[in-house]
Structure 1
């Protein structure tokens, strides 16, 4: 379906500034949940949703905190079976903070009236700021300013500062601050029939002036220590024991402090809460509790933490610098907001020995149980060009699970390494056996583990990381082995069909996800998914290329280690030249198009207009049709881009060359017909779909491409999406939005050892400026509708890089300090 012409109301209200802050009101139900997700603070090691500190989990608020890579499994009774599900664990809540005047109820009680309430996310400083005023039943009015962050460099630390000003009263002020250790995974309504208690409390105690909670996950046995310290000061400095009485308190699953002091009207009282979280998964510690206590003991005042935290963010934004003319149609604050969420989800993965992947919803909620799919395929293009060491760490998440993938392949009767569609702690397949359709209330079999193409994405990411970084050490020591083992897996998935005289791949599910089988078939999966088959061709070619490029003796070592025979490499070459790709003729236009899978054209056409009239939003067509006792398997309808993933990952010329090598007479002139065919048959049930459609339409149908870009930029911000965003942001969609602006419309491609530019930047977008990192050189790129300018801001020694423009045949050398300017043809 084409982009909508009208737009839904947005949750955020941008502050009139330089695009470095976004402003949120407070909502009810899922709207507040959406705000909490979008106001998450974190550093990539852990993150906390933007719930107000006085709240607890209920139908409006959900103060979840998540640690990258920290999972636990629980059995659940679902319908007539026992299932086991692994989830990213909601760890003890360090946020709880409330106060009261005199004998008034605590802030958070419904009798305390909120007069004003505004949340501001300061992107430049990585800090959430809350301005609000309250009034109790006695008419006492109090003004409050809160600031919170998770330190960008001291990854174990978080801070909450609260400034309390009594506006029209003097008297006793009570403050309650602590840790809630009795949390559960309860953030996704459709999972609430599943077991949710992942933690058992080992100890709640005080050590000096620190409150300490120690818990352990019930199955994975990860020990988690959360420690918090509370200090108070006024304009004269720290408030001593002669003025404030602080009591240590343990109540049920809560441990903390209660402070009581006398305040004067108009006086500022500042409460500083600093938290440290350590787990038994952390390196170089004796125990989590000792490490958490030690971290707090070496931490100075919160103002010092703030200064170093903000300095770290300023340095990081130099790598993620992006600016767009303020009077253009692209809002730079949205781009920076999405970059912020990418940073707080991924940055810490590149630090130390953290073992974590890319959860589809970031560290912002519990949708998909925090599992890792193929989303790094959409995230790597941004991180490769800014934080390549984070990409290397993310690839090592896969490398560490290579043996598990080998075991999975063996169990499936395959060679090499078979990576799971949904991954978590140890590399085992975490795709649930059943899933709930909330529209029908039925639990249904889930066979989406047949999305074998996740292995293709991993291999593609290995090669893209190498192309951008030039990291030969990684390729030789780790990358080549994982790529070759994935190649062996897909070669063994491939069989030779005598009738076709070609190689085929049967019984898989493509990126579309809707089509899990043929109508009425007992066995799941479809045959010859075009994306899977063509990317398998790409994989065979890439594997042979890597083997050719590996220097001796490393090539001989890896061939010997993996027992790769010459006959095996010959078969890879044969597959790359004889793979079957399905085509069919569009009955309306008569044009030949690439079939999504074999037999796709035989499926019934769908009455899109009738469905939209009955249901409005049809993005989750699979749920709608199952609830009507029908199946999307019966129709030519896709959840998201499938065939069109090919021109997203491969250039049109590369696609033409690959098909020619296979013996198909297909040219790039035929690509628009295939694009148009699937445009009319896609429901865009995933934010990734609008990313891909914006990309593939950028040259041929720019107006539609801009429409899809607009939808991508708004996806997590529209109030209509509150129900899904409240469960976690769509991290790959956010990264994809930035990627479409910079790499697609900016025309950036890395190939053949050079960085190439072929901009198609619309004049109406104004001017674009951003930084990127290519092979250890930092570049500043400026693009407008008439020209492009590339400046080398710095690199190692006397090294140079190759930079080219598609209107020229050869790339040219760029030296540190040099600027290259290039004109853009008027029709670009």
Structure 2
């Protein structure tokens, strides 16, 4: 029998489909926090980490419950306005048992003979079975099912079956809600650790139901949790006792007592409703939670509704490479965790894309530029969700304008780290992951987040042709971004060029020139090319909306002819710098930097993902070297095709030869440490057409970002959401050659050797399209309906795809129906 298998365990004995299951048998304490992240359940509104219900935050386990966009600000001596963070909310999970007079089952109490945990991805259920032995050698088997409802965003459920295997007597069960929680999942981010909840109140509604409310310390947001616990035998009500208990100073619950015999089955159904003062159409969160729970069905009913909602999501987000393929299970894990943070329920919320999802407190739950890697996937699946998330940026446009004004600039400047209000939440000092010393942190000067916002706005518009969004929100975001960068550009009449100085590109190893840390760099290739592109898109968007006077009731942003002419001039004359042989320089004077002795540092440290911090710990300066933490120049090839990039550089007046792109890729890739999880996403994409073997290697590593090495993984602080969506998008768009350009849906498939087929469902201009790409052909089927046909180009041949059509493309022979 395999090690860890228990013949009495239903999960061990069950025939579980591997491609839909994430399984953990037993497990060492060092990796427990990562496993709890991977076992998180959520619905785009509410998430709960996969901690055991009998556990508290103890350095090994970390129960955490979060609501999308629910933040609070703690006072911090280092910041006058305090630190903003996502809030760890009252823990609704607590449930444990004991034989009367014995110890309550908890980590460290008794012995766990066996523990088997399974995340059922198809149905969105966390299954758990364990066998526990107490100090009196009483054996109790515990079987649990847990869900956070995808059918009703405010409901969650925990079902527990308790089976005393070798004892009889009185069994006591304690079910509670704990409001005494603190934020401590990301200990390095000390400013947000601590108690975010105050004014905790609790009470009992009936022998099965308790409630708890709390208020955040600064934002004064109220949250309410109402829990109903029903105890029975074999799924039916049974005689038992019930009394209210307070297992902690800010906790409330029930203790139930019931008589049991060996092999008897006691069922415990715990259902909770969660509301906050941020919810729409809610007068009082406690009243709303009570009402929701009153109408909530049994566990079986909730499970059926929840599984049905997940099945519908899987139909829309299907991405198939073959059930036996080693990528299929990771693909589903990534899809599952993306949808737990960003789902149809998120559309009604004021929320952005947190870099670590809703799975932990990494980066305080802040929003970075990671949306750049997320929206392209969502645009072709659930574009309404992208629109709602972009509206998060639009609602904070006033704060971005004020940030630009404070910096002496015009337009809008979005912060590198954004939270609840839109003010800049970037830290000024951070601890080194190598030495632990607190160092000046200049990452907040990455103003290129503005360009990411503009890029996301335009790509959403290209994919959807959503004129109401472009006219109502998109054009303002594009214009204010254009104004910021046009204001930052300075004109050099000697050669009719514009310079952008003192900025930081995506590569965080360089925040200034040697001896000038934090002062920024001049003429970053990524920034200057993106600015040229963004200025042209702002002009184009303005022209589109100006030609649609009925699209909005009034025009909030006016652009005069002089301003547009200046945009046009800048977008044609921004300066780029080149190295030898026509390779784009990452920034001006990049060629003067020293080469690193890579072999020496690999011998010394092995893993160089923290190279910048390693150099600082040695008293050296990463600004001195031609090194990169992540894709910078090569981000341009992630965002644009080779043809597009060539056109952009030539538009700036440079004689750019696209034949130099492979040499450019090799130059920077050989000097990159991939210190960010997003780096391999970008490089897998860039290499897809020139070096498919390395592209696949990069993708394979990215697919394992949150699954590998749990003992040393930062996944304990949350899912890497940008990497999660980015891996899916490589399969969806990169390997299929799918792009939207000039109002045409284009396909140019080139599968890697590791794939013999790839199937997915996309939505383009309201047309639901099923794609199946094989080595020698691609089949495109449009669902029947009343939508308008769309132009489709495959390998430079264009046809019209109408609802109900199926088009088969022989990749080397032509097109047939």
Calculate the TM-score normalised by the size of structure 1: 0.94
| Distance (Å, rounded) in 2 between the aligned partners of 1:622 and 1:171 | 62
SS of corresponding position for 1:197: coil
Q: For the structure 1 residues 662 and 65, does the alpha-carbon distance in structure 2 shift closer, same or farther, using more than 3 Å as the test?
A: same
Deviates more, 1:245-254 or 1:63-72: 245-254
SS of corresponding position for 2:105: coil
| Distance (Å, rounded) in 2 between the aligned partners of 1:697 and 1:15 | 39
Matches within 5 A, 1:594-743: 594-719=584-709, 722-743=712-733
| Distance (Å, rounded) in 1 between the aligned partners of 2:553 and 2:584 | 37
Structure 1, unaligned runs of 5 or more: 1-12, 586-590
| Distance (Å, rounded) in 1 between the aligned partners of 2:316 and 2:807 | 20
Q: For the structure 1 residues 707 and 723, does the alpha-carbon distance in structure 2 shift closer, same or farther, using more than 3 Å as the test?
A: closer
Contact 2:491 2:498 in 1 (8 A): yes
Contact 1:56 1:63 in 2 (8 A): yes
Q: Alignment partner for residue 383 of structure 1, among 354, 378, 381? A: 378
Instruction: Deviation per CA, 1:457-476: give whole Å up to 9, x if none.
Output: 11111111111122111111
Q: Alignment partner for residue 370 of structure 1, among 365, 386, 389? A: 365
What is the CA distance between 1:191 and its match in structure 2?
A: 2.6
| Distance (Å, rounded) in 1 between the aligned partners of 2:48 and 2:197 | 17
Instruction: Deviation per CA, 1:652-711: give whole Å up to 9, x if none.
Output: 101111111111111211101110000111000111100111101011111111111111
What is the CA distance between 1:160 and its match in structure 2?
A: 0.7
What is the CA distance between 1:192 and its match in structure 2?
A: 4.0
SS of corresponding position for 1:554: coil
Partner of 1:228: 227
Instruction: Deviation per CA, 1:5-42: give whole Å up to 9, x if none.
Output: xxxxxxxx998626111111343344111101111000
SS of corresponding position for 1:275: strand
User: Is residue 2:189 matched to residue 1:191?
Assistant: yes
User: Is residue 2:463 matched to residue 1:468?
Assistant: yes
Q: For the structure 1 residues 327 and 228, does the alpha-carbon distance in structure 2 shift closer, same or farther, using more than 3 Å as the test?
A: closer
| Distance (Å, rounded) in 2 between the aligned partners of 1:268 and 1:739 | 46
Partner of 2:339: 343
Deviates more, 1:600-609 or 1:728-737: 600-609
Q: For the structure 1 residues 715 and 364, does the alpha-carbon distance in structure 2 shift closer, same or farther, using more than 3 Å as the test?
A: same
| Distance (Å, rounded) in 1 between the aligned partners of 2:607 and 2:543 | 50
User: Is residue 2:563 matched to residue 1:568?
Assistant: yes
Count of residue pairs the alignment pairs up: 800
Deviates more, 1:205-214 or 1:740-749: 205-214
| Distance (Å, rounded) in 1 between the aligned partners of 2:690 and 2:684 | 11
Instruction: Deviation per CA, 1:268-326: give whole Å up to 9, x if none.
Output: 11101111111111111111111111111121212111111111111111001122124
Contact 2:412 2:483 in 1 (8 A): yes
| Distance (Å, rounded) in 1 between the aligned partners of 2:303 and 2:579 | 61
What is the CA distance between 1:193 and its match in structure 2?
A: 6.9
Q: For the structure 1 residues 556 and 341, does the alpha-carbon distance in structure 2 shift closer, same or farther, using more than 3 Å as the test?
A: closer
SS of corresponding position for 2:502: coil
What is the CA distance between 1:500 and its match in structure 2?
A: 4.4
| Distance (Å, rounded) in 2 between the aligned partners of 1:726 and 1:622 | 23
Partner of 1:7: none
SS of corresponding position for 1:547: helix
Partner of 2:810: 823
SS of corresponding position for 2:529: helix
Partner of 1:287: 284
| Distance (Å, rounded) in 2 between the aligned partners of 1:83 and 1:613 | 45
| Distance (Å, rounded) in 1 between the aligned partners of 2:600 and 2:628 | 17
Contact 1:15 1:22 in 2 (8 A): no
What is the CA distance between 1:82 and its match in structure 2?
A: 6.5
| Distance (Å, rounded) in 2 between the aligned partners of 1:560 and 1:291 | 39
| Distance (Å, rounded) in 1 between the aligned partners of 2:23 and 2:118 | 5
| Distance (Å, rounded) in 1 between the aligned partners of 2:246 and 2:181 | 18
Instruction: Deviation per CA, 1:570-593: give whole Å up to 9, x if none.
Output: 0110011101011111xxxxx321
Contact 2:582 2:657 in 1 (8 A): no
What is the CA distance between 1:442 and its match in structure 2?
A: 1.5
SS of corresponding position for 1:148: strand
User: Is residue 2:430 matched to residue 1:435?
Assistant: yes
Q: For the structure 1 residues 136 and 421, does the alpha-carbon distance in structure 2 shift closer, same or farther, using more than 3 Å as the test?
A: same
Partner of 1:265: 262
Instruction: Deviation per CA, 1:611-650: give whole Å up to 9, x if none.
Output: 2222222102122111111121111111100000001101
| Distance (Å, rounded) in 1 between the aligned partners of 2:264 and 2:670 | 63
Contact 2:45 2:346 in 1 (8 A): no
SS of corresponding position for 1:561: coil
Contact 1:29 1:59 in 2 (8 A): no
What is the CA distance between 1:60 and its match in structure 2?
A: 0.6
Q: For the structure 1 residues 311 and 134, does the alpha-carbon distance in structure 2 shift closer, same or farther, using more than 3 Å as the test?
A: same
User: Is residue 2:762 matched to residue 1:772?
Assistant: yes
Q: For the structure 1 residues 424 and 26, does the alpha-carbon distance in structure 2 shift closer, same or farther, using more than 3 Å as the test?
A: farther
User: Is residue 2:788 matched to residue 1:804?
Assistant: no
User: Is residue 2:100 matched to residue 1:61?
Assistant: no
Contact 1:204 1:250 in 2 (8 A): no
SS of corresponding position for 1:273: strand
Contact 1:547 1:555 in 2 (8 A): no
| Distance (Å, rounded) in 1 between the aligned partners of 2:211 and 2:485 | 50
| Distance (Å, rounded) in 2 between the aligned partners of 1:494 and 1:615 | 41
Contact 2:401 2:413 in 1 (8 A): yes
Partner of 1:404: 399
Partner of 1:332: 328
Contact 1:476 1:554 in 2 (8 A): no
Partner of 2:301: 304
Partner of 2:490: 495
User: Is residue 2:43 matched to residue 1:43?
Assistant: yes
Contact 2:234 2:265 in 1 (8 A): yes
What is the CA distance between 1:555 and its match in structure 2?
A: 9.0
| Distance (Å, rounded) in 1 between the aligned partners of 2:679 and 2:379 | 22
SS of corresponding position for 1:189: coil
Contact 2:482 2:534 in 1 (8 A): yes
Matches within 5 A, 1:78-477: 84-192=82-190, 195-208=193-206, 209-235=208-234, 237-239=236-238, 242-249=239-246, 251-328=248-325, 330-348=326-344, 350-352=346-348, 354-477=349-472
| Distance (Å, rounded) in 2 between the aligned partners of 1:44 and 1:623 | 35
Instruction: Deviation per CA, 1:74-96: give whole Å up to 9, x if none.
Output: 12245xx8772111111111111
| Distance (Å, rounded) in 1 between the aligned partners of 2:190 and 2:398 | 34
Contact 2:153 2:345 in 1 (8 A): no
What is the CA distance between 1:327 and its match in structure 2?
A: 4.4
| Distance (Å, rounded) in 2 between the aligned partners of 1:485 and 1:821 | 44
| Distance (Å, rounded) in 1 between the aligned partners of 2:587 and 2:345 | 37
Structure 2, unaligned runs of 5 or more: 1-11
Q: For the structure 1 residues 773 and 236, does the alpha-carbon distance in structure 2 shift closer, same or farther, using more than 3 Å as the test?
A: closer
What is the CA distance between 1:438 and its match in structure 2?
A: 3.4
What is the CA distance between 1:721 and its match in structure 2?
A: 6.9
| Distance (Å, rounded) in 2 between the aligned partners of 1:478 and 1:82 | 32
